[in-house]
Amino acid sequence: MTAVTTWQSGPIGEGAGFYWRHYDLAEEAARGALEAEGLEPLVYGALTAPETRPRCAAHGDGLLINLRGVNLNPGAEPEDMVSLRLWVTGAGVISAQMRRLRALGDVREGLERGAVPDGPAELVARIALRLADRAEPVVADLNEAIDGLEEEMEDGRGRVTRAELSQLRRRAVQLRRYFFPQRDALSTFEIEDASWIRPHDRLRLREATERVTRLGEELDAIRDRAQLVQEQIMDARAERMNRQMLVLSVAAALFLPLGLITGLLGVNVAGIPGTETPWAFWAVCAILGLVAAGQLWAFWWIGLIGRRRD
């Protein structure tokens, strides 16, 4: 789409149709053309605000609505969502963006194919639906990613890293924080008492609202599943640490009495038995071996090694 694009519907019944003028505010020419529209300062400020969140507000005989779409521009992250500002009246729609939004291209292609909405409210509903269409593959990719992480945890492969899990959760949270306000904005637009919003327009707007709600709920589920995977990682790490501590404890318990015996026999004082006996060393070794074997049997019996005791 160029800096300023204009589309005019043909006459509808006895009416004069409606228009759609879109401004790409990344171009200076578009800013000048939007200013020449002669909009009220509040409307102009809303359309050119550097940062926006999805919302809908009535002003005079029109509605201001801000929407967000996933960022599918080359080199961009989808969760860095692109803002779309619209000023909607019975006469038409004025929209503005600061970054490219592919969903608008989809709507434009539909108009060129002859799929013409019969009013400005239906055009807004169509834009909202195309925004949801473009977001669905991104949410589906996140679902597949969390599915893969869950399978790895269930298989016990233990290859899931906290970094990739944190990145997935961050993406889901960043997308979610715009979807639910967008649902509220579309719902507010649907229930506004404007004469140019007709019953079938409200049905399309309700469909768009439900699509956005479903995407938000899927993102909630992804976030919760990621939390469960995080807990599984922590449980697996704690279990590995417990096993390592058990091995160290068994080793320490095994060598404690052996060290006590050898320590007593190694003191440098008179009266140590066996100092004059040639076979005393081998006798001590045998005693140590018997003590170690007895300890291993005791550890096996109580379930520390070799078997589990319920």
pLDDT of residue 308: 55
pLDDT single digits (tens) 79-88: 889 999 999 9
pLDDT single digits (tens) 160-218: 677 778 888 888 988 998 999 999 999 999 999 888 999 999 999 999 999 999 999 99
12 pLDDT tier (thresholds 50, 70, 90): very low
pLDDT at 133 over 50: yes
CB 135 within 8 A of CB 102: no
163-197 burial: b if 16+ Cβ within 10 Å, else e: eebeebbebbeebbbbbbbbbbbbbbbbebebebb
In 3D space, the residue among 64, 28, 27 whose CA is nearest the CA of residue 46 turns out to be 64
**Which stretch of DSSP H or E encloses residue 262?**
helix 199-265
- Residues 6+ positions from 273 with CB-CB distance below 8 Å: 280
pLDDT of residue 157: 60
4-236 fold? Beta Polymerase; domain 2 (3.30.460)
Q: In the structure encoding, which two tokens stand for residue 76, read together?
A: 């961009």
pLDDT of residue 120: 93
- Residues 6+ positions from 23 with CB-CB distance below 8 Å: 3, 4, 30, 31, 33, 34, 47, 94, 95, 96, 97
- Residues 6+ positions from 285 with CB-CB distance below 8 Å: none
Look at 42-56, 141-155, 257-271 and tell me which has the smallest mean pLDDT. Answer: 257-271
pLDDT of residue 156: 65
| 273 phi, psi to nearest 5 deg | -70, 145
pLDDT at 240 over 50: yes
Q: What are the structural domain ranges in the chain?
A: 4-236, 245-302
**Average pLDDT in the 99-122 region?**
88
Residue with tokens 């890293």: 161
117: exposed, middle or buried (Cβ count in 10 Å: 0-12, 13-18, 19+): buried
pLDDT single digits (tens) 257-307: 877 777 777 776 767 777 777 787 788 888 888 888 887 887 778 776 765
**Average pLDDT in the 36-55 region?**
89
| pTM > 0.85: yes or no | no
Q: In the chain, helix, strand, coil percent, each to 5?
A: 60, 10, 30
